[in-house]
Amino acid sequence: MKKPITVLDILGKKGKQPIVMVTSYDSTMTRIIDEADVDIILVGDSAGMVMAGLDSTLGITMDQMVYHTLCVTRVKPKSLVIADMPFLSYQTSVPDAVRNAGRFLQEAGAQAVKLEGGQRVIEQVKAIVRADIPVMGHLGLTPQSIHAFGGFKVQGRGEEAARLLKENALLLQDAGVFSIVLECVPSLVAKDVTEALDIPTIGIGAGPHCDGQVLVAQDLLGMMKEFKPKFVKRYANLFETIKGAVDTYAQEVRSGAFPDDEHCFKS
Ligand code: KIV
């Protein structure tokens, strides 16, 4: 039987056991994922793309993220639940950052928050940590900066970019984050950052040397037919499985095979 996982458990895994993080945005998926052997459920702002069909993560709001987080925590998962702070919920000011981070714990039952960026949001990170809210950092390809980056591009390439990435990771560690997501950075850069830190790194498109890995559940389950970035490995083909099941249902309705006796009430 899985025991509840805390931020301290995650810290303790550094250098001992790889950390497994998966996204979830609703209660049905959370029930399934939490029965599996995962450590962290991330209510990512990728919900904007995966659940709401947006082109980027920029459009999802604080209220929508609180709703998704609540849908996840309502089923009382044993995995650590981290809520992703959406665009404009922390960049605007330190008080905004603390208030919005606090909402995820107070209104939605999350145990920690994640936010994107290093030096430019460091005061926000320090203030949230001072409010006793555990923070996960996120560096590399930070999707809320997509327009500044000019697209979804690998980050940290070249000596100067790699140096800056490591500098930001160390700043975040000093500011008190308990872990850092490294997204779409060269494997050797992620290795160097991981070795320089006392806290765990969790990679997505950052190679095998991170202390853990994260994937969007719908990506690893093969539910997104058209979308398959290089860093995604599909462990199932649920698009075809679900489509096949719905096609069979449609055929049985049309042929009269469903509903049969087993699925009807007797008078
Ligand atoms: O929003 C998200 O799903 C994320 C992960 C990809 C790290 O930030």
pLDDT in tens, 130-149: 999 999 999 999 999 999 99
Is residue 113 within 6 Å of ligand 1 at its C-beta? no
**How many angstroms is it from 136 CA to the middle of ligand 1?**
11
**Long-range contacts at 50-58 (CB < 8 A, ≥ 24 apart):** 50/23, 50/25, 50/216, 50/218, 50/224, 51/25, 51/26, 56/143, 56/146, 57/86, 57/87, 57/143, 57/144, 57/146, 58/87, 58/144, 58/146
CATH match of 7-220 with 3.20.20.60: yes
Measured CA to CA, the distance from residue 131 to residue 96 in angstroms comes to 13
Alpha helices in 51-88 (DSSP H): 62-73
Domain positions in the chain: 7-220
Is residue 84 within 6 Å of ligand 1 at its C-beta? yes
Separation of CA 23 from chain center: 5
The backbone torsions φ and ψ at residue 250, rounded to the nearest 5 degrees and listed phi first, read: -60, -45
What's the pLDDT band for 227 if we cut at 50, 70, 90? Answer: confident
Q: Say whether pLDDT at 228 is over 90.
A: no
Q: Say whether pLDDT at 48 is over 90.
A: yes
Is residue 201 within 6 Å of ligand 1 at its C-beta? no
Which active-site residues does the annotation give?
183
The backbone torsions φ and ψ at residue 201, rounded to the nearest 5 degrees and listed phi first, read: -105, 145
Longest dimension (CA), the chain: 76
- Residue 162: which of 138, 192, 183, 184 has the closest Cα? 192
Q: Are 224 and 239 within 8 A, CB to CB?
A: yes
- Tell me how many degrees the CA angle 157-191-155 measures, rounded to the nearest 5: 25
Least confident of 86-90, 153-157, 165-169: 153-157
